[in-house]
Amino acid sequence: MKRNNLIWITLVCIILGLTLTAQFRTQAGISSDIPTKRLEEMTGLLKQAEEERDALRSQVHKLTVQINDLLSTRNPTDKLQKELKEVRMAAGHTALHGPGIVITLNDSTRTVQAGQDPNLFLIHDEDLLKLVNELKAAGAEAVAINEQRVVASTEIRCAGPTISINNTRIAPPYVVQALGDTEALDSSLHMRGGIMDTFSFWGIQIQIEKVDDLTLPAYVGSPVFKYAQPVTEEEKE
């Protein structure tokens, strides 16, 4: 049995040797027949393939990290839902509540004297815009004017005798609601020489109320991005 096994092993080795020799000769013949230009083209294709491979490896690595990050939570959908909720809150598409202040503004009741511009005693779009900016600078997390939620796409502009906000015409009294630290918001409005002093100088009627639990409505519009497009990860690189 041992002798037969040795014979079979020897025959197999001989066959393998002959096969490998024939293959090497064939490859050598093919290589010698390939023109230099063809080799350069193949070298370029090889380099391109290697670059694509490296790019795919990088992409796989990023996706793996994201998957592992999701799987690290008890329920992967919980994190996605939390992020979606935060995005909707930041975009103003969710009604919010919490501590804040309510500012009610109305036009002046003073009698306009001769030579005075009556427009100075009225509330204008720029007055509301300055007020919103002051509140945001003081840390307001959400703002609404006459039940119109102020978001990134909100316009505050003059529309004849009224003011347009979110393409909705509003008239005085203007009720401005802001969520945030009530003390910080109130203090920012009462700074010496600030916006409240300006309103008072022209007799604009002002009422400020601190509220422990204030509810702001959600933005009811539907923003459409026709020209702006998100930047992809490939474009960032």
- Sign of the C-alpha dihedral computed for residues 106, 109, 110 and 115 taken in this order: positive
Give residue 54's pLDDT: 73
How far, in Å, are 64, 205, 234 from residue 71 at the CA level?
10, 56, 25
CA distance 113 to 134: 31
CA distance 170 to 3: 106
Q: What fold does the segment set 96-216 form as a domain?
A: Alpha-Beta Plaits (3.30.70)
Contacts of residue 223, defined as CB under 8 A and 6 or more positions apart, other chains included, come to: 153
DSSP secondary structure of 102-151: EEEEE---SPPPTT--GGGGS--HHHHHHHHHHHHHTT-SEEEETTEE--
Instruction: Please give the average per-residue pLDDT across 47-69, as a whole number.
Output: 71
Give residue 210's pLDDT: 95
* Tens of pLDDT, residues 74-115: 565 677 777 777 777 787 888 999 999 999 999 888 877 777
* Tens of pLDDT, residues 120-172: 788 999 999 999 999 999 999 999 999 999 998 899 998 888 899 998 999 99
* Tens of pLDDT, residues 12-35: 555 555 555 555 555 555 455 445
Q: Which of 57, 81, 103 is nearest to 210 (CA)?
A: 103
Q: Which of 126, 122, 170 is nearest to 146 (CA)?
A: 170
* Tens of pLDDT, residues 171-214: 999 999 999 999 999 999 998 888 888 888 888 999 999 999 99
For residue 194, give the DSSP letter.
Answer: S
Q: Write down the domain spans for the chain.
A: 2-69, 96-216
> H/E element holding 165?
strand 162-165
